[in-house]
A = this chain, B = another copy of it.
Amino acid sequence: MNAAIALRPQLKVRRVNLDTGRENVAVMSRRSKALRPEVFRGFSRVEVRRNAKVMLATLLITDDDSLVGPDDLGLAEPAFRRFAESPGALVTVTPAAAPDSLDAVRAKIQGHTLSAPEIGAIIEDLAHYRYSDMEIAAFLISSASFMTSSELLALTRAMAEAGTQLKWNKSIVVDKHCVGGIPGNRTSMIVVPIVAAHGLTIPKTSSRAITSPAGTADTMEVLARVDLGIEEMKEVVAACHGCLVWGGHVNLSPADDILISVERPLSIDTREQMVASIMSKKLAAGSTHLLIDLPVGPAAKLKNATEAMRLRKLFEFVGDHFGISVEVITTDGRQPIGNGIGPVLEALDVMAVLSNDRKAPPDLREKSLRLAAHLLEYDPELRGGTGYARARELLDNGAALKQMQKIIDAQGPSICRTDLGTLTADVAAPGDGVVEAIDCLRLNRLARTAGAPIDKGAGINIFKKIGDRVEKGEPLYRIYAFDRPEYDLALAAAKTDPGYLINGQRSLSDETAT
């Protein structure tokens, strides 16, 4: 094998200005002396090697010397960055053997159960970008049909160990997680300051929106910097007991991020994969006590109590195994929590609750207090049953707001544009009646169409909730946008289906006033 490599012609590394997302891509000239057409085709997988360093990549072939000459090997972003060699460094290119751990994936496809070392090897290869998209899909689907409890535990542990593992030297490190899907619902930004004001450690990492109009990281970014490194995050937590940072910079369970990048487009989302994904991140984050929020509703991820209970048992099982104290609660997932949908609007809701503004959305306040109450009761010093009162006290007396300000100052100022969209339109009720249902998926989509989360000030602010009486022509919600085409699109979509059910009818209103 070494003889084989020594004989291969060497190519000079060159950076190619192509952004290929997560995928490693290499570009070779069709006239390259290293190109063997029988083994290299466009989009075939290759191994790029310099001494002991090996990287797998997808190959593109060009006739254009200005892009890549016959003696060069072009590396697109992020391959160039990951390979970390200077332009001109000599490399060899060989057809990529599939990663060894793919044998275990094939065994799983054939119905075998995998051992912990086999799962560990798969996750190790995944985290080092050795799996192609189709190989990742193979692993996901082979484990979607069944996963034993030992496999689930092994997968969770392997994912947690594949990236950064945080240690806090505290006997209690609390965390909360919501499985998502509900617009608004920025409870973390209220729960963290309450819990931190009490003095418990709550180092919260959050995600950015992938398919929704805002993630907690996007909303927090309206108020403060969120792309902190590990050391910066530790300093903030040391100073404030808590933080609200983006998980993307902290490299917790990177294999999970890679799996998610294939799960989303394929919409494969099994309970086991969800639990392994969440618990691996919490395990890596060093959490000891974890509260999980499962919203239940017709447009939520969990449609009924039975689904929620099955998921709860799985979380408890994995938590027990790894010594994380897990509490799972189901919440009302029938409609948005708070009024704003989109980063700036949600940040306004959060600050209104923390400031005890009388216009603050009561549902967001109430849900946040309830979650904070559960977390506060992890404090052995706190008398049983007094968590809610303590949470309300810290919110009402301004301690939570003060703590939030401290966290914001510690994380650093926001560098985002934080004004609200200048193009606005109200979507009005088509007749008198009572709001019977609100379609969360629809509102999420409208807010995204209006420009959220990229335009932080774009989105939707809702005025009516389930049970509210409305009169014909009364506004249901307001659309905010910056970009004229997006504004037009969102408005047209809202006219077609505004996502409100009033008196048994989806309101199809033409009466929108700008």
Contact = CB atoms under 8 A, between A and B. Distances in A.
Interface of A: 3-4, 7-9, 17-23, 25, 27, 30, 36-38, 41-45, 60-64, 66-67, 76-77, 98, 102, 106, 109-111, 132-138, 141-142, 144-145, 209, 262, 265-268, 448, 453-454, 485, 488-489, 492-493
B60 A19 contact: yes
Given A43-B23, A66-B66, A267 B453 contact: no
Given A20-B42, A42-B20, A492 B454 contact: no
B454 A37 contact: yes
A278 B265 CA distance: 31
Contacts of A489: 3-4, 7
Contact of A17 (B8, B18, B62, B454): B62
B60 A42 contact: no
A134 B262 contact: yes
Nearest to A483: B36
Given A66-B66, A134-B136, A106 B19 contact: no
A134 B60 contact: no
Contacts of A111: 145
Contacts of A18: 27, 42, 60-62, 64, 67
A496 to B, nearest CB: 9
Contacts of A25: 60
Quick one: copies of this chain in the complex?
2
How would you classify the secondary structure of chain A's contact residues: helix, strand, loop or mixed?
mixed
Nearest to A37: B454
A31 to B, nearest CB: 12
B141 A137 contact: yes
23 contacts: A3-B489, A7-B485, A7-B489, A17-B67, A18-B27, A19-B61, A20-B43, A21-B43, A22-B42, A22-B43, A23-B43, A25-B60, A37-B454, A45-B265, A102-B266, A109-B145, A109-B268, A110-B144, A111-B145, A134-B136, A134-B137, A137-B137, A137-B138
A102 B137 CA distance: 13
Nearest to A8: B485
Contact of A19 (B7, B20, B42): B42
A265 to B, nearest CB: 7
